[in-house]
Chains A and B, each alone.
Chain A
């Protein structure tokens, strides 16, 4: 299927755009953007560059600094002014999570999560090692991770700022980020899966409707493996299975798993809490890619959460290998009667990718990836099917319309429009969901495609401000482009990714900005700053091993196990020197007793490969073998005081 074919098949908005190009390009000739637009070597690149000049955005109010008025995008905050949104970004195989200020795009924080970070001491201190997970000898279980999808906790259908979750695709782990400190506080490894892809928190408790907030996080499992994966069935892919996993939002314990047919990628949840869904490819169960794309239709698998939990309660589950996690059977074979089914499989063409919930709570939209279509599934009809009121599950598909080549992910403006990334076309298509439904119902005059815009290049995830909440703001969206090619100063063969921001306030989209990002963010959420309530300093009592009084400092020996207790108060550590003996197993505990916001201290021990930071009122510890005699000047690595350089202490390792 060629590009030309598609363009003619679908709603022909292209001539319109060409016309737009003529006028806008003329208008934009004076602007600096044109050359950039042309250099993108795309047939229709110019409008992108020229569009900002002709942005049909509603007239913004006069600049109101960081009291930004409604409808205003302060793209370049003046010094002292703050961004209006938090962007919480995954870091891909850098293993981290990042916090950006938006719409400026300034990176504010990197949250080490599955990776090792020598600024923070993440993976170096005992506390962080315990979160990441250790082997029996105390060494880290994993040093790598691949974060894809970040989603926040909900209350009343919108973010409550309490938690964010992110997956690790490599080792199958889910991490939780606390919204009040933007630090990872728990990591859970999911049993019997590989290729942990999509996640999504629920929005309302399906069992107790009074609990209108997130209590569970759902995890989609992509790669099918033998169950258990202990060496059996290795050469028989037909016995490979995937599991859909539910994790408790508070305890981070795995609550249950559900075995399904096919490979799952993205996950979505309904606003009423009843349904979770995962888009599926390789329903064929193939082990090689040609097998994986043989069928014309794959599926979006829906889970009736309450029914699954009832089945677990009723003991209708098995366990796999060593895992104690209850596993229910969600395969097609086991769920033939809709009235009792735990799952149902809505057919979606072909090797679909993203599944996204519309802010009005009515629809899930699945992207065809290898099919140029978007599929709109009406949730009420899925529920009807599961309740036995709808005979044919296919009737829940209220639209299946052509969008462009390689549709992947969709976001929303809260005004009934969807924005879908077209990976192969390097475009975003803006389309109206209601119009698409009318078109699908037979009204061929319904013009559902409203606009297209080129992005640079090969977009993956897309997310608008508050786009996955019922408070979708419709101001701007970010799109993660997988290739940046010629868009930034070249730095050798490895290129940054290109995160582009697009104004979606008007009928037409317009490009606002682009930012290079260190590889490789996948997904992200854009949260109004009002939703986030951060702590200014830690509470010293939150740390059981805190040294609350400098007088409690000292070296405490128990055989060859030595505990060094230290506090920091700018510009000094409480011990000017401390002595241990060669061969000791030293545990050094450091509490930062400074109460001043932003007064973080560091602690580095030369030659012992140790560095970490302690924030005000925080306690961190490290354990190491004192295997090298001599004098080691431990010093503060985090600038703290006019006497920062003088802030040091001697570790004396006696022979």
Chain B
């Protein structure tokens, strides 16, 4: 509470400062820069900063150099103990690039950048965008520009969503002014990197141009697809928040045309030569066709001289946009077997840094409409293109690509991965050897089994759960369902190595032995839950511990299935809502965030379940766990079940001791409920605990017969194999 007055004060101070700034600068933040008259010296004078508010874009600067470099920029200095210290750089966008915005004219932008290459300020000096005059406030563009502050000029910055797995930083666009912001992004990144290259912040990219071998081949469309000379970029309506009508939202084929074999195959000889005749040295042409798509890849952004705002080409950090004069008609495709198309284009890449020898991407910028709010956001989709070896003289150059994020994670976590894999292997090996372990155990000493199980629990809780946060969750199952139905992306699943390995283990063991090995031996929360129960028993709370009545249990156990089905159903309407509802799992509270780092309802829920676990074995697992339910269903088809004897149908000895309440009145084990604790298997071979065995032991002891070893069926090996007597029947059964 004591913070309140302080924050209030701070806010007040901020408002005052803003008010002052507005008064002093004449409200620069919202100043009308539409078609303002700029001093002509701004474009030409060596003392640029005498005519431009350079200080506004690089806070703290007190002096500026004259224009220098090619293209121009100025250095900004601050005074430090009488010494001029280089603070950064200021550049005027029109000195560097004339990329037109929506109006067909550039937005004249003053850009500040510090010595580390981070943007320190952006100021529009003049724009001609009618859209900012007619509806969208100019402040929207100011707000857009502020997104650059603090961002590094060498980053991959694009309009649309961030994609950390591809090191891509997304910027929020201005709805209704896409062309303007795409052009502005191009201006910012081009200007910034041109200067950053000159001053040594960025290494200049010098991609040698491709040389093409002579070839008389005339590949068909299928050949071109097969060797990657044409690529396809498909966007589904779901990916942009639209209902599917059976058509893709966007279905693009594209390819590089300067390569003579490919160019001739696509355009025919005359078309290829005609097009190459239009190109100047260092210019490149690509084609795009679309068919049966829900939308146009051209849009209308280019009409006023702006950009084609839906497609661009990106090569590493260099973006290439297209304007009206970069467009040429694509009449038809000569290659046999080419698909039909109803929209087509040849675009000319005019940037010097582009080289066809290196990989590049076609980027499609889609509008994603949020169904609830109808607000538009922008989503990028791209597809890589790299000419095959055969189309390049000397083949593809060596390109060192940064590891994909998932691979980096795997490399970083190699120790954890080895340790975790070892844990899984040990547990699996132990369970596979359960016959030896249970034979060595008996009713009173289950340690041969429990040593492994309890180790598994402790390591799972501590290492897997709290340390590695690798608690599997129902949300992963939901994600799978969606991935299987819509789009499978390995990257998504590979991004968390332990979870990925865990799931492989779970899927295999569920079908081999049932879900119990995971649920009963390795699930961090399940382990914690049962461990609490065991500890409770040891510390003298045993008398307070209870099982719910079997009849009630048999009804309640279906609740978890209902929860699972419910979540799955909700996920098809809203993944977000399903994820929220998946908080029925206390995993996040327990392991990921921490019991005491969440608001009280969550803490109460998780804490309550764990508290209840002391008195009742695994209450969450039995009745609520949707993940358990999801795994229980395939468990029906597990390969190896637990052993049973004929007598099990009438003998209730095991059922009494079954903590999972998985053995019914007829002695059948409900494999879907079974946690594979192996207690019943210990009894199975225990001639003091298993009633049929005990009876036989007593009989043999009384009759003075030897106690032969117990066979795999759970009976003493008969002494008189012939003639067959009643006792040996079980062997045959």
Contact = CB atoms under 8 A, between A and B. Distances in A.
Contacts of B303: 598
Interface stretch (A7-15, A74-82, A300-308): A74-82
Contacts of A84: 331
Interface stretch (B341-349, B357-365, B533-541, B707-715): B341-349
Nearest to A597: B324
A530 B346 CA distance: 14
B291 A65 contact: yes
A84 B332 CA distance: 10
Contact of B332 (A63, A67, A536, A570): A67
Interface string B407-420: 00000000000000
B270 A78 contact: no
A59 to B, nearest CB: 16
Nearest to B290: A65
Contacts of B268: 530
B340 A595 contact: no
B341 A64 contact: yes
A444 interface: no
B88 to A, nearest CB: 33
Nearest to B274: A533
B324 A596 contact: yes
Given A67-B289, A530-B274, A599 B341 contact: no
Interface in B308-330: 324-325, 329-330
B257 to A, nearest CB: 15
B305 A67 contact: no
Contacts of B333: 67
Given A537-B325, A596-B324, A597-B305, A67 B338 contact: yes
B47 interface: no
A62 interface: yes
B383 interface: no
Interface in A78-94: 78, 80-82, 84
B271 interface: yes
Interface-central residue, B130, B331, B344, by most chain A CB under 10 Å: B331
Nearest to B291: A65
Nearest to B324: A597
Interface in B266-293: 268, 270-271, 274, 277-278, 289, 291
Interface residues of A, number: 30
Interface string A535-568: 0110000000000000100000000000000000
Given A80-B342, A596-B104, A536 B331 contact: no
Contacts of A62: 340
Contacts of A536: 324-325
B40 interface: yes
B134 interface: yes
Nearest to B303: A598
A551 B305 contact: no
A66 interface: yes
Interface in A47-81: 62-69, 78, 80-81
Nearest to B343: A80
Nearest to A531: B270
B331 A642 contact: no
Nearest to A78: B342
A530 B270 contact: yes
A18 interface: no
B304 interface: yes
B104 A594 contact: yes
Residues of B in contact with A, size category:
20 to 34
A643 interface: yes
A4 to B, nearest CB: 48
A618 to B, nearest CB: 15
A447 to B, nearest CB: 37
A533 B104 contact: no
By secondary structure, the B interface counts as loop
Contact of B340 (A64, A529, A596): A64
- Of the candidates A65, A84, A529, the one having the most CB atoms from chain B within 10 angstroms of its own CB is A65
A551 B37 CA distance: 13
A641 B296 CA distance: 24
B324 A65 contact: no
B305 A599 contact: yes
Interface in B536-591: none
B305 A65 contact: no
A66 B40 contact: no
Interface string A497-537: 00000000000000000000000000000000110010011
A95 to B, nearest CB: 30
A67 B274 contact: no
A183 B289 CA distance: 31
Interface in B1-52: 40
Contacts of B270: 530
Contact of B305 (A81, A533, A594): A594
A348 B57 CA distance: 86
A82 B104 CA distance: 25
Contacts of A598: 303, 324
B334 to A, nearest CB: 10
A595 B331 contact: no
B331 A67 contact: yes
A67 B344 contact: yes
Nearest to B134: A642
Residue among A80, A529, A530, A598 with max Cβ neighbours from chain B (10 Å): A530
Nearest to A67: B332
Contacts of B332: 64, 66-69
Contacts of B342: 65-66, 78, 80-81
B130 A67 contact: no
A642 to B, nearest CB: 5
Interface in B111-163: 130, 134
A78 B340 CA distance: 14
B341 A67 contact: yes
A643 B480 CA distance: 54
B325 A597 contact: yes
Contacts of A570: 103-104
A117 to B, nearest CB: 26
A596 to B, nearest CB: 3
Contacts of B324: 536, 596-598
A328 to B, nearest CB: 39
Contacts of A82: 329, 331
Contacts of B325: 536-537, 595, 597
Nearest to B268: A530
Interface in A597-614: 597-599
Which residue, of B100, B324, B333, has the highest number of chain A Cβ atoms within 10 A?
A: B324
Contacts of A596: 100, 104, 304-305, 324
A640 to B, nearest CB: 10
Contact of A641 (B130, B331, B338): B130
Given A80-B342, A536-B324, A596-B324, A530 B104 contact: no
A641 B128 CA distance: 12
Contacts of A569: 105
A570 B305 CA distance: 11
A64 B330 CA distance: 13
20 contacts: A64-B340, A65-B291, A65-B340, A65-B342, A65-B343, A67-B333, A67-B338, A80-B342, A84-B331, A530-B268, A530-B270, A530-B274, A551-B40, A570-B103, A595-B325, A596-B324, A597-B325, A599-B104, A642-B134, A643-B130
Closest 7 CB pairs of A and B: A596-B305, A65-B342, A597-B324, A596-B104, A64-B340, A67-B332, A642-B130
Interface of A: 62-69, 78, 80-82, 84, 529-530, 533, 536-537, 551, 569-570, 594-599, 641-643
Given A84-B331, A596-B100, 20 more contacts: A65-B291, A66-B341, A67-B330, A67-B331, A67-B333, A67-B340, A67-B341, A67-B344, A68-B332, A529-B329, A530-B271, A533-B278, A551-B40, A570-B104, A594-B104, A595-B100, A641-B130, A642-B130, A642-B134, A643-B130
Interface of B: 40, 100, 103-105, 130, 134, 268, 270-271, 274, 277-278, 289, 291, 296, 303-305, 324-325, 329-333, 338, 340-344
